Structure formats: structure tokens, C-alpha cells
Amino acid sequence: MLIRHAADLSENDVTDQGLYRRRREFMTGAIAMGSAGVLGLPELARAAPLTTVKSAYTVDETLTPKDAVSGYNNFYEFGTDKDEPAKNAGSLKPRPWTVVVDGLCAKPQRFDIDALIKRFPIEERIYRHRCVEAWSMVIPWNGFPLAALLNAVQPTAKAKFVSFTTLLDPKQMPGQNENYVPWPYREGLRLDEAMNPLTLLAVGLYGETLPNQNGAPIRLVVPWKYGFKGAKSIVKISLVENQPQTSWNMINAREYGFYSNVNPAVDHPRWSQASERRIGDFFRHKTLPFNGYADQVVKLYTGMDLKRFY
Amino acid sequence: MNKRLIYIAVWLALLAPLPAVIVFGVTAFNPIEYIERNLGLWGLRFLIIGLVITPMARIFRRPTLIRYRRTVGLFAFTYVLLHWLSYIVLDLYFDWPVILKDIYKRPFITIGMAAFVALIPLAVTSTDALRRRLGPVIWERLHQLIYLIVPAGLVHYWLMVKADHRSQLAYGSIIIALLAWRITDKAQAAARRRARAAEKAARTAA
């Protein structure tokens, strides 16, 4: 038997990465479809594995189990109880999906979700997640920095803010038939916050594509802000000149500011933000300024009164 | 019907939510929140059921129903007490500075705490001996506090939620209907009394 040495192999002998990736996708797709057919599962319940790279963005804390991360959610598009998103999000169709990036930029574009996932390396980033309701998790997200996408469309000098819009479709999102939130859900960041390397567009968690109830197929993760800043199931990202309207601020401006940085010194009017309940733990944890990410983000707010700009 | 059997059934029905809350609670992703909220909710439900008994007894002419009102009320108090304990022990683990700040600063906790404190004398004076000692007038007056406590419980529940007040609206409508029944019932009774007095006066004049 002839064993060839590496030197004998030319570039032509190597299967193109795109090709073998497609084979893998085809196989996992076929397997998933087969088992979904047999088990009668909704087509959307299947999570596809993602090829991810490790990143330096990690915390040395116990991960919140996956069933809690995808079973205890605030996603009012599918109901206001924590267990309702997991029960009701089956009606969301995360494929095909297009994300429009427009506004004050040189190259406004529409991106297909799968093209986006191929275009940017998908990193694994373990972030603390702190809900404004004073509970928290530690979540291994898979995604790419928002800055990478924004750089691709080249924001103009006039762009100062970024707005995010969630899908509006009451057929897929039954909660939108109720009017407790001015739909569609919208969020926003200052451009420098959006460009911070911590700011992530997540397309998966625990190495698989996002479960619907976590904001499939693409959501924002801003780990130094309260969780509601992380708009889910995003269809549009716009570069704008003025501070955009944000949903919770529209509902109750006194309780939910535009910035909503995690801040143990500024209480929510109805509860203290000094401590948090880590899902899975009995005793409360002390809440850290900027959720423990002060080193990376405090410079964004120099000279700002964070009690006023909460 | 066997009175004792009915009592046992009532007790079991009133006790049943407790193991259910604990079993579902320990398997929930956020057990403390689940247990705390659901104990409070059952407290409110049983307080409302307590308010349902009198109108039912009157409308369906079953005065013996009144017999179960105390049991329902005491169970309601027990659930509210456990709800309060779960806040003090499970949620904040005796962090008194934070608890006192909560009571002082946060209207929904201030109102909830006031409602809880107001329930204590009602529970304490539920024994036959104390009821006799207070006499019917004072006892009734004192227990009319419930008409403030139940709406306060609802406000506490309402203010806790960020958005979506549908269930609060449902409980609120029931409470308003029950209080409205009492107001019209009182007004009708007063009208009957006036009519009788007028009749008597007319007869004596004649």
C-alpha cells in the first residue's frame, strides 16, 4: 500500500471546505428531518450544530444548564410567563430568514441568515446574563461581534445610534395579538456601544443554533446591560442619527432607561438591583457594576451621571 | 349530609395547593420565585373565596354555608403567612436592611406588608372565645377590615407585574363584583328597614 506523504498532496487533493461542510449540513439535516418525521416533532424544534471557535471572552463560573437557559425565558412575543416561550415558540419559522442592515451606511444590505453564519467565524463566548428582574445566568453563546457586521456596511459619520427590530408577525408570534408591548419589539444602542467588542450577535448557544424561545435565528447580546436590551429574532438593524425608541422605555420610562447598564447602585423603582438570584443557586449573589464587565466598558460612560442615564 | 365529611372535604381542598406548590416549585427553574408567587396567589384566591361565601349563602338561601367562612379565611391567612415567610426566608434570607428598605421604598411591598399585618388581628380573633369577648359589634367592625385587605392584596399583585395585567384584571373584576353586591345588599336592607318603619309609624298614627 502506498502511503503518500503530505508533500505529495496538492491543494487539489483537499476537499474544499465549503463542500465538506455542505455534506455535513446535508447529513445532519437529513437525520434531523428523518427523526422529526418519525417522532412527529415540529420541524423547528431541531437545533443544528454550529462550527465554533473558542474565544478569550469567558468567565470562570458554573454554566447554567441548557434546559434552564431555554426553559426560563422572557420573550413576550410568546407569552408573559417564563415557561410560555418554550411552550409556544414552535410557531416561529427561523428559516428562511433575512436581516436587513440599513440607514446611515455606505453599503446597506440584506443578509440571509445562513450566509451570515458562514461569513463570520462563530465564536463561543461565555457571558454572564443579568435580567432586570434580578435573576441571572451564565450562558455559552455562539455568535460574532456586531462590529463585524456594522463594518461590512460601513456606517457614515452621521450615524450615532443603532436600532434593532424584532420580527412583527402575530401568526408566528401569538403574543403580538395582545397589546402589552408596542410591537414590534425594538431596542437600541449608541454606536460606540454597538462597536464594543463585547457586543455580540448570537446565532446559537451550547454549540447549536438558537432555540426559538431564545430568539432564533439571531439575537443581540450586550452582557453589561440588563437582558431586555438583547433584542431577539432580529429582522432589521438600522444606523440612525438620533437615539431610537426602545420598547420597555416606551412602556415605562421611569423603570427602564435607554442605557439600562447593570448597576447595583441604581435600584429599579420596585426592587433592589444590589443582588441577584443566579438560577440554580439558593443564596443571592452580589450584582457587579456593568455585570462584571466594567474594565471593558466603563470608558464608554466617562463624565456621564449613571443615576440620571440609567 | 354528613357535616364531618363536608368539613374533611373542605380541609382537603384548601390544603391541596400547598403540596402542589412545593412539588412544582422544587422542579421549577427558579424555585424560590415560583413558591413565593404561587403561595401569594393562593392566599389571594382563598381570600376572594372567603368573600364569595356570604353572597352565595344569601342568594341560594343556604345560611349553613357561613359555617365554612372561618375555615376558608384561616387557610387564606396561612397561605399569606407562608408567602410572607418565603419572602423573608427564601427570597431575602433575613436580610433585614434590604427588607426594611423594600417596605419603606417600594409601594407594592409596603401595601402587601400592610395587608399582611392587617390580617393578623382577624386571624387571632377568629376563635369562639375571643369572638364572644369582643361582642358582635366590635368583632364585625374589626372584620370589615377584609374589605380593605383584599383590594390591597390585589394592588400588591398588580404593581408587581411589568406588563400584561390580564389576570389581575380578572381577579379585580371578581373583587369589585363582590364588594358591589355588599353595597347594594346593604342599601336594600336599609331601604326595607325604612319602609317598615314608615309602615309602623303610619299604623300607629291611624
Please indicate whether, in this complex, the C-beta atoms of A271 and B32 are within 8 angstroms of each other: no
| pLDDT at residue number B202 | 87
Residue of A nearest to B90 (CA): A282
Residue with cell 427558579: B30
For A283, the closest of B33, B93, B106 (CB atoms) is: B93
Looking at residue A42, what is its pLDDT? 45
Task: Yes or no: say if B153 and B119 are a contact pair by the CB < 8 Å rule.
Answer: no
Residue A34: which pLDDT band, with cuts at 50, 70 and 90? very low
CB contact under 8 A, B162 and A181: no
Quote the CA–CA distance of B116 and B122 in Å, as a whole number. Answer: 10
| pLDDT confidence of residue A15 | 53
Burial class, B71, CB count within 10 angstroms (exposed 0-12 / middle 13-18 / buried 19+): middle
Model confidence at A46, pLDDT cuts 50, 70, 90, reads low
pLDDT confidence band for A35 (50 / 70 / 90): very low
d(CA A204, CA A218): 8
3-state SS class at A13: helix
Q: SS3 sequence, chain B?
A: CCHHHHHHHHHHHHHCHHHHHHHHHHHCCCHHHHHHHHHHHHHHHHHHHHHHHHHHHHHCCCHHHHHHHHHHHHHHHHHHHHHHHHHHHHHCCCCHHHHHHHHHHCHHHHHHHHHHHHHHHHHHCCCHHHHHHHHHHHHHHHHCCHHHHHHHHHHHHHHHCCCCCHHHHHHHHHHHHHHHHHHHHHHHHHHHHHHHHHHHHHHHHC
User: Quick check: B112 and B153 in contact, CB under 8 A?
Assistant: yes
Question: Nearest CA of chain B to the CA of A264: how many Å?
Answer: 13
Alpha carbons A308 and A297: distance in angstroms, whole number: 18
Q: Is residue A34 packed enough to be buried (19+ CB in 10 Å), middle (13-18) or exposed (0-12)? A: exposed
For the cut 60, the answer to whether the pLDDT of residue A30 exceeds it is no
Q: Does B93 touch chain A (CB under 8 A)?
A: yes
Tell if the CB–CB gap between B106 and A68 is shorter than 8 Å. Answer: no
- Helix H or strand E segment including A177: none
- What pLDDT, on the 0 to 100 scale, is given for residue A6? 47
- Confidence label for A99 from pLDDT (cuts 50, 70 and 90): very high
Confirm or reject contact between B169 and chain A (CB < 8 A).
no
Residue B105 contacts A where some CB pair is shorter than 8 Å: yes
Q: Which residues contact A43 (CB under 8 A, 6 or more apart)?
A: A33, A36
Question: Does B93 contact A284 at a Cβ distance shorter than 8 Å?
Answer: yes
CA distance B53 to chain A (A): 31
Q: Are strands A109-112 and A98-103 parallel, antiparallel or unpaired?
A: antiparallel
Mean pLDDT for all residues in chain A: 89
Most confident of A25-39, A116-130, B56-70: A116-130
User: Which pLDDT band, with edges at 50, 70 and 90, does A47 fall under?
Assistant: confident
Residue A31 has pLDDT above 70, yes or no: no
User: Beta A123-130 vs A135-145: how paired, if at all?
Assistant: antiparallel
User: What is the per-residue pLDDT for A14?
Assistant: 54
B106 to A178: CB separation less than 8 angstroms, yes or no: no
Return the pLDDT at B162: 81
Assign A11 a pLDDT band (cuts: 50, 70, 90).
low
Cβ B162–A271 below 8 Å, yes or no?
A: no
pLDDT band at A13 (very low <50, low <70, confident <90, very high): low
* Residue of A226, A218, A94, A95 lying closest to A165 (CA atoms): A218
pTM score: 0.83
d(CA A65, CA A106): 42
Give yes or no for B101 touching A (CB within 8 A): yes
Summarize pLDDT for A153-212 with one digit per residue, the tens.
999 999 999 999 999 999 999 999 998 899 999 999 999 999 999 999 999 999 999 999
Q: What pLDDT, on a 0 to 100 scale, did the predictor assign at position B205?
A: 78
Q: What is the pLDDT of residue A270?
A: 86
**A82 and A279 in contact (C-beta within 8 Å)?**
no
CA B10 to chain A, closest CA, distance in angstroms equals 30
Q: Residue A271 and residue B102: Cβ atoms within 8 Å? A: yes
A239: its cell numbers: 444606523
DSSP label of A45: G
Higher pLDDT, B124 or A25: B124
Give the C-alpha separation, A120 to A101, whole Å: 16
A72–B29 C-beta distance less than 8 A: yes
- Considering only CB atoms, B108 lies closest to which of A80, A270, A279, namely A270
State whether A135 and B30 contact (CB < 8 Å).
yes
Tell me which H or E stretch contains A202. strand A200-205
Q: Sort out which chain A residues have CB atoms less than 8 A from B107's CB and list them.
A: 270
- A38 or B175: which carries more pLDDT confidence? B175
Chain B residues within 8 A of A68 when measuring between CB atoms = 29
Which chain B residues are Cβ-neighbours of A283 within 8 angstroms? 93
Regions of chain B with pLDDT less than 50? none
pLDDT higher than 80, residue A63: yes
Instruction: Determine the residue of chain A that is closest to B26 in CA distance.
Output: A280
Query: If you average pLDDT over residues A5-26, what whole number do you get?
Result: 50
Residue type, A280: G
Q: Between chains, do A283 and B102 touch, taking CB under 8 Å as contact?
A: no
Q: Which of the two residues, A100 and A5, has the higher pLDDT score?
A: A100
Provide the number of CB pairs (under 8 Å) joining chain A to chain B. Answer: 48
